Amino acid sequence: MKVLLVGGGGREHALAWRIAESPLLTKLWCAPGNPGIAAHAECVAIGAEDIPALVGFARENGVDLVVAGPEAPLTLGLADACAEAGIACFGPGKAAAMLEGSKTFTKEVLDAAGAPTAAWKRFDDPAAARAYVREQGAPIVVKADGLAAGKGVVVAATLEEAEAAIADIMESRVHGAAGARVVIEECMMGEEASFFALCDGERALPLAAAQDHKRVGDGDTGPNTGGMGAYSPPPAFTDAMRDEVMARVVNPVLAEMARRGSPFRGVLFVGLMLTATGPRVIEFNVRFGDPECQALMMRLRSDLLPALLASARGDLSGVELEWSADPSLVVVMAARGYPGAVKKGDPIGGLDKAAAIPGVRVFHAGTARGADGAVVASGGRVLGIGAIAGNLRAAREAAYAAVDALDWPGGFCRRDIAHRAL
């Protein structure tokens, strides 16, 4: 079968790697792709948010399945446009993608489904939002309602931080239109975990869990980022918790979405806080996480493509996926200055040397080809250095050995990925 993968980051590199291994595959394209993805797929110069061009390419080339990597094309209606063209698409339609596109929508669905989550209120007026946080006190969580590339959440330790977050999001509009309204929540305490379930509109297949590291600095310090590293599985997330999340969150939410006439197909990313009273939902995403996807794909032992197709076609019955018991870990290499302004164009050496370390795989995220053909940095999060081994400490040692094999003075990483588990 012919597949078009949409996106050009580290998550898409991991998906391209696994899809390319499938005996069902006859041709894989990626739009727009990156130099790492080019080892597995033919990259085409179409932006991930150019829905008409993506669907037109798929139709002209006889694509059997479109796989959406990032959230933006889904919230723009990629799956709906594919359906109109008679092409299967892995990922939810626009209405169901609101589970990521709007924090307010998510909280309303959670409440209707009776799923455990934080107490919350929505505000369109910054003065009313400020009055509410003064009434509630700190710590408290302030979230931009719309899509903010994983950066629209502030866990405020003080009232001053909360009020500054409201000003930044609603008045300065640091996240653009996503900050027209905010959701303010109680601050839940515990460890975070990311759990993934494959859905077909009615049924869900539990996949695996990971734990990512959002803060830019060691010891979980500094501003939030799109993710500086991840590992899977997190020891704090037990099989009993998985069963509880499926029973109390995933299945009721699927039923609620179907009741609303917006059945959810694709992968449901459940962001959880593992509290003293059990797992509670922080947020939903409607796609694989980045860098969690890289960690999961390192552990996957089954053919991914039939599962993606079954989800897209609305029938997961009979689908099973096998996972390695060995843990995996991903360290994100970012350009200095991230999550702020970064310098682009610096060449990155040592990639082959890093990839030659046993158990290691180098995922490209923000990379491009320079004028001389060399791989250069072209974004904030640039590489994901993945490793899998018999235990988590060995996986971490391999990943950091690969980091040290790189020749890129303009890059940096956290040095404590998986510190909670270790």
What are the contacts of 33-36 at 24+ separation with CB within 8 A? Answer: 33/5, 33/8, 34/8, 34/9, 34/364, 34/365, 34/366, 34/367, 34/368, 35/364, 35/367, 35/368, 35/369, 35/375, 36/362, 36/363, 36/364, 36/367
Contact 82, 69 (CB under 8 A): no
Amino acid at 75: T
User: Residue 319 falls within a domain, yes or no?
Assistant: no
Average pLDDT for residues 192-211, to the nearest whole number? 97
User: Residue 374 falls within a domain, yes or no?
Assistant: yes
User: Residue 98 falls within a domain, yes or no?
Assistant: no
Q: What CATH number should be reported for the domain holding residue 25?
A: 3.40.50.20
Q: What is the pLDDT of residue 150?
A: 66
Structural domain harbouring 144: 125-180
Residues 81 and 159 in one domain: no
Q: What is the pLDDT of residue 269?
A: 97
The Cα–Cα gap between 12 and 153 comes to 24
User: Is residue 322 classed as helix, strand or coil in its secondary structure?
Assistant: coil
Q: Which of 313, 348, 374 is a domain's end point? A: 313
Tell me the two tokens of residue 272. 């959880």
Q: What is the pLDDT of residue 360?
A: 98
Q: Which of 91, 115, 141 is a domain's end point? A: 91
Residues 45 and 156 in one domain: no
Total structural domains within the chain: 4
Residues 308 and 402 in one domain: no
- Answer whether residue 213 shows pLDDT above 80: yes
CB-count burial class (<10 Å; 0-12, 13-18, 19+) for 195: buried
User: Residue 97 falls within a domain, yes or no?
Assistant: no
User: Residue 193 falls within a domain, yes or no?
Assistant: yes
User: Residue 107 falls within a domain, yes or no?
Assistant: no
Residues 174 and 270 in one domain: no
CB count in 10 Å sphere of residue 300:
20
Residues 294 and 355 in one domain: no
User: Residue 149 falls within a domain, yes or no?
Assistant: yes
Residues 197 and 304 in one domain: yes
Residues 175 and 193 in one domain: no
Residues 202 and 135 in one domain: no
Residues 176 and 195 in one domain: no
Which residue carries 């399945």 as its tokens? 65
Q: What CATH number should be reported for the domain holding residue 173?
A: 3.30.1490.20
- Answer whether residue 147 shows pLDDT above 90: no
Q: Which of 259, 286, 313 is a domain's end point? A: 313
User: pLDDT digit string (tens) for 230-256?
Assistant: 999 999 999 999 999 999 999 999 999
Residues 304 and 336 in one domain: no
Question: Sorting pLDDT into bands at 50, 70 and 90, what band is 383?
Answer: very high
Mean pLDDT of the chain: 96
Residues 299 and 261 in one domain: yes
Question: Sorting pLDDT into bands at 50, 70 and 90, what band is 121?
Answer: very high
User: pLDDT digit string (tens) for 316-364?
Assistant: 999 999 999 999 999 999 999 999 999 999 999 999 999 999 999 999 9
Question: Sorting pLDDT into bands at 50, 70 and 90, what band is 208?
Answer: very high
User: pLDDT digit string (tens) for 46-86?
Assistant: 999 999 999 999 999 999 999 999 999 999 999 999 999 99
Nearest to 41 by CA among 79, 87, 8: 8
Pairing of strands 278-285, 265-275: antiparallel
pTM, two decimals, is: 0.94
Q: What CATH number should be reported for the domain holding residue 233?
A: 3.30.470.20
The Cα–Cα gap between 184 and 130 comes to 10
Residues 195 and 173 in one domain: no
**DSSP-derived secondary structure for 136-182:** H-SSEEEEESS--TT--EEEESSHHHHHHHHIIIIIS-TTGGGGSSE
User: Residue 271 falls within a domain, yes or no?
Assistant: yes
